[in-house]
Each structure stands twice: as structure tokens, then as C-alpha cells.
Structure 1
């Protein structure tokens, strides 16, 4: 229970369904402070108190579990390391993968609980063979299946998402008000939870040793200078402060971050259009497509690809290729996704999630994104 309205209503529905429910708030921040600022941040003392009040209203036990050390190691340190390597990570994916549905679920099962129930907008259904499948929620505007794409079949067996079929967030808030939950009108949290002021670049500057370097265009010509390449991300337009305008007078965008030589490459917007994505650390949310396993491994299969939590899915074809070990079932296999229509500004470190209809097939961390125009 984060202290927000979604998890409070999810807990209420679980109680109403007859489950034996215990509310757990995760203490993830070692220095939580006492107050939120509007919709920024989470895991504060205020959030913990809101979760406790909701549990008190529902008549269920409430506990705070301190996962701050594991959160720092698995999410915050990973975030810093990825930016230091010139990639753009998604900390929500890592938190779901390593904290909420790994550390939390492991502890819950060890204590004898059957499932972790959360306020995520997503759905678990049973396939024709009885195995669990992850699907989009009824309200696509609030759908959070993308950030749950890292869940495995074993984890989905122990997940409950009571908000799956709720048609809108407005209905959740109205239900919270009817139930007398004090969080009914509480703002949603946004941005990166451990960067409460929203200034990612400023926060990174305190974590990573930044060094001045050059900004070059797609031909390698110096067009400006920067204070640290690690603070930039592919697709960025603002904050470049270029000394030399583009020949056509149009804005330039970050095309690539090269941490090894501390260089930022910029160019026209059209060179951000990506047609091929190569992903590593592949996982499947349930049974993988037949073409991705066994004797048919290496064949293309049709899917939709999504690279942002609230991005539009794009029709694509995907296949697995051998990684360094050369073994089809190996964790180091490479997922190659060819897009029917280009996506703009795809950065290494982001996550590509594959769908078929409403079903989540699986995900991979983007290792490379290829612009055919830039290759040409």
C-alpha cells in the first residue's frame, strides 16, 4: 500500500471479496522527509500515514517493511550506473522486477501468504492451457501493463490486480469517497520517486562525476560544449545551448550519448526515427510465443511494440537471435524487433514491451536502436 487511492481501493476490494488481507507499506527511501510536494515523490512519512489510515478504516492489520537497502542497490544504484554508461533506464520497471514482485513477493510467500495484491491497472487471465497471462486493463488511459512486463509466469501466479476491470480512475476515486477513505482526492505521484523535485539532471550531477566535453553533429563537427554527457538522453532538445545553428535553421536533437569519449551527438529530428530495436535481458510474461522457443526458435512472429509507459503500440515483427552463449534458451539471447512504422527517439536502456492484442508477451532492455536514415 503506497498511501495512494489505487492501492487503498484495491485493498478494500480484496477484503470485500473475502480474502484475509494484510496491508504492507514499503519503506524504500532512507531519508523520506515528512511531506510530499503535490504529486512529486512517494514513500514519505505522509504516505505511510495515509496507508495506515486506509488500513484502519478497512479494519485490517498494517505493517511497514523496510526494503530501503535493497531498493538502493537494485533500483537507485542501477539507475545511476545506467546513466553513467550512457543509457536511459526505467526505474519503475526495475522496482517492479526486483522489489515489489521479487523481494516483497518472496517475503510474502515465506510468511505463508498466497499473493501480492496491488493497485496496478492490469489484468491476469488464464490461457487455454491454464497458464497465467498478463493483459491490459479495461481503462487503456490508465493501463500499467507496460511497467509490469518484467513479471514472469511464476510471479503472475501470485498476483492480484483488483482494479483490472475498472473503467476509469474517476470511478476509483468515487469509490474511495463512498468507502470513507481519506485518500480519495490525493494527487497521483509522478516522475521518479527518489528524485522528489523532478530535477533528474541536477540529481545525477551529484551522483556521477561530470566532465565537460564536446557536442558534435551527425558528421562529427563540433557545434557546442556540455558539462557532462551522462546527463543527456536520446531525443532531448532543450538545454543543448549550441553555439552553431543547423544549416537549415531547424532545431537539433540528441541522437546518441557516447560516455567513453564524453561526446553528445546531435542532429535533425528525422534521424531519431528508429525502425529496428535490439534488446537484451529478455523475459516472458507467461508462456512465450512458439516461434521464440524450441525448434521454431529464430522465426519472426507478429506483435505490437511499446517503448514508453504511455506510448502507443506500433505493429512489428520480432525474433530471437543467439547471444554470446549461442543457446536459444539462454538469458543472453537478443530480441530483434523490426517496426512497421518508425518510433521517434528510442534510447538504449529503455524497455521494449511486446503485445499481441491486449496480452503482454514479454520485454527486453533496449541495447541498440537503429535509424535507417542515419545508417544511410
Structure 2
């Protein structure tokens, strides 16, 4: 099989490519140049997709004896990931850029180009598993190592994309084993730190980065009953669940801290309240997609049991979900949580599971707490 190995410059993608070579596939390595500042270097474990990473990817391909190329996807990355990130925050939502990158870059733009060039599959170092059912349909499942499982950020993959996806690290029991294997293979990235934070904000200061790109206008901070408690420099600079930086002159009546419950960008207001109101019981999602063939209940509109996860490394919680038509006629996902979940914000992604299988995902449009009569997600 002709395989295009996406080489990030990290240890996971290097070992994944090595395993694809060892399995007898015809492998070509490619590094995606996503940064529009090619002189940027990573700082320790912050950021990725830099010149340093490109060189590390080249060294790995050289040791593996496979061709190596760099493809410039920086313009597409800026439009589909960076600009989307800014627009979502400007609309008062909390986006997940890793989901957008996997959806629009690694498994849309990259896969599309790979197939056009005659490749059969794209291989990545993600910790996730693709399984075929009895009819040959592909399903996305959690990896063997739940601590490193990355199926959440792959929840946007479609059935067609799963047909051409290869994850050689699926059954690896731990990251330590991957590093040890890299060492045995003579790969210089064996002990390279994992990247974290948002790759295009390598210093980790998301708020400061956004303040340079979103026009902020002073507005009101309100209590849940609409009482004005203070002012803020701009609603877009806040996120649901935030506690620090509110700068309210007076404490709550019970003396306990207040948290951001809701952001209303159209009114330029921030709603704050007690911590218990962050516990969400129900969420509604838009931009729904299914990882593989949808389960029958999706077509019938019946409610089904599942588990819901809203962060890459968050704990899944028991839930009941159903699909219904939204106001615009497009499908919406309604998820009722059996146990409330804290700090859910519009713009985040909810991924549904049954056992280890990823069913699909949606972008959270609104979220509500049963302790608060009106929806908590009116933002947008």
C-alpha cells in the first residue's frame, strides 16, 4: 500500500512512520509547514510545526530511508484554523483549534492531496484505533493507552476519511514504549518533549494574543439576575468558567468567588455567578458529523445511551442523546447528561462514545444548568 506519513517532527509520528515501513508499505514522509513565521523555533515543549520540527522530521525520514518533502499549508492553516479561532472568540465561543486542524488540514487538505497523488492512506502518530465491522465499515475507537488516547480530537473524521486513515500506535500500551522503540531505531527524537498548548501561540498567553487581534470594548459584568456588578475591558477576552481577572469591587453575598457563566458578545456583557451554576445538565450541538456509519437511532431520532466528552483529556460522562431538526432545518444534537459537567462553553466540541467507539461529534451551541431556569448558552 502507498502511504503518506505525516511527520510532525515528534517521536510519535516518527515511530508511526517506522512501523508503516516495517509493515512493508511504500512510505513517503511529509512535513506540513503551517507557520507563517518560518524563523520561529519551539521553546521546550511549547508549540510545534517550526523549522526545528521540520529538521527533526527530515532526520527521522533519513534514518528510515524514505523520501521526505515539506508541503506549505500555511495559507490554508491561517484561513481554516487561525482565522476561525479568532472569529469564534470574537463571537463569544471557546473553539478547539486542534479539532479544526485535524478536520480541515490533516484529514481534509492533506488527505485530499495525498489521494490525488495516488496514495492509499495517510499515516499519523495519533493514539487511536480504526476497526472494521462485519460488513467492512470502518469505526473509530479509543487507543489501548487511555492516558494518551487522542480519539477525541479525531472525532471529526468521516466514514470516507477513516477509509484512508492509518494509526500505527493504536495498540501501544504506553508512551514510554514509543520512546524506547525510537531509541532502539536510532531516532534522535526519542526524548524530545511533547508539544502542548496552541501551536500558533507558543508562549501560551492566549488572552494576550487575542487582545492584539480582537477589538475590545468596555461593557457590563452582570449577576444572574441582571444586576450590574462592574465593567470589563471586552467580553471576548473572557471564557466560561473563568474566575480570575473579573476585578469586581465587592464580594458575593455569601463571600464565595464568582465565575464567568455566560458571554453575550452582541450585548458585550459577561454574566457571572456562583460555582454551582457551572454544572451543566444539557447541551445542544450544531455542525454534527459521524465517525463512520451512524448508529440507527441517528436516523430515527430516538434517544440513545452514550458517554459525552468535551475536552481532549477530560473524563467522559454518562449521557442520553438524540438528533433533531434545528430551526434552520439542519440536524442538531441534544445531549442530556446523567451527571452534571462543569464549565461547558459554546464553541467547544462534544464527542460521543459507546464503549471505546467514537460515534461522532458536534460543536456546542448552547449549554444549560438545571439550577438556572434560562439557557446558559445564549451567546452567539
- Name the TM-score class by shorter chain: over 0.9
* Residue 280 (1) aligns with residue 278 (2): no
Aligned counterpart in structure 2 of residue 310 of structure 1, from 310, 313, 321 = 313
**Matching residue of 1:329:** none
**Matching residue of 1:191:** 197
**Matching residue of 1:148:** 154
Residue 212 of structure 1, CA deviation: 1.4
Aligned partners of 2:176 and 2:257: how far apart in 1?
39
Residue 33 of structure 1, CA deviation: 2.6
Name the TM-score, length of structure 1 as normaliser.
0.97
Aligned partners of 2:134 and 2:367: how far apart in 1?
35
Aligned counterpart in structure 2 of residue 64 of structure 1, from 63, 70, 74 = 70
Runs of 4+ in structure 1 off by over 6 angstroms are none
**Matching residue of 1:356:** 354
Query: CA RMSD for the aligned pairs?
Result: 0.9
Residue 242 of structure 1, CA deviation: 1.4
**Matching residue of 1:324:** 327
Q: 1:292 to 1:264 in 2, by over 3 A?
A: same
**Matching residue of 2:342:** 344
Aligned partners of 2:40 and 2:272: how far apart in 1?
41
**Matching residue of 1:127:** 133
Residue 34 of structure 1, CA deviation: 3.9
Aligned partners of 1:28 and 1:249: how far apart in 2?
47
Gapped runs of 5+ residues in structure 1? 327-331
Aligned partners of 1:107 and 1:28: how far apart in 2?
16
Residue 325 of structure 1, CA deviation: 4.7
Structure 1, 225-234 or 279-288: larger mean CA deviation: 225-234
Given that 1:85 and 1:230 are in contact with CA atoms closer than 8 Å, whether structure 2 keeps it comes out as: yes
**Matching residue of 1:33:** 39
Aligned counterpart in structure 2 of residue 105 of structure 1, from 108, 111, 116 = 111
Residue 227 of structure 1, CA deviation: 1.1
Aligned partners of 2:123 and 2:235: how far apart in 1?
40
Residue 156 of structure 1, CA deviation: 0.1
**Matching residue of 2:58:** 52
Secondary structure at the aligned position of 2:352 is classed as strand
Given that 1:224 and 1:244 are in contact with CA atoms closer than 8 Å, whether structure 2 keeps it comes out as: no
Name the TM-score, length of structure 2 as normaliser.
0.95
**Matching residue of 2:21:** 15
How many equivalent pairs are there?
Answer: 368
Secondary structure at the aligned position of 1:22 is classed as strand
**Matching residue of 1:166:** 172
Aligned partners of 2:245 and 2:109: how far apart in 1?
38
Residue 130 of structure 1, CA deviation: 1.2
Aligned partners of 1:2 and 1:237: how far apart in 2?
35
**Matching residue of 2:99:** 93
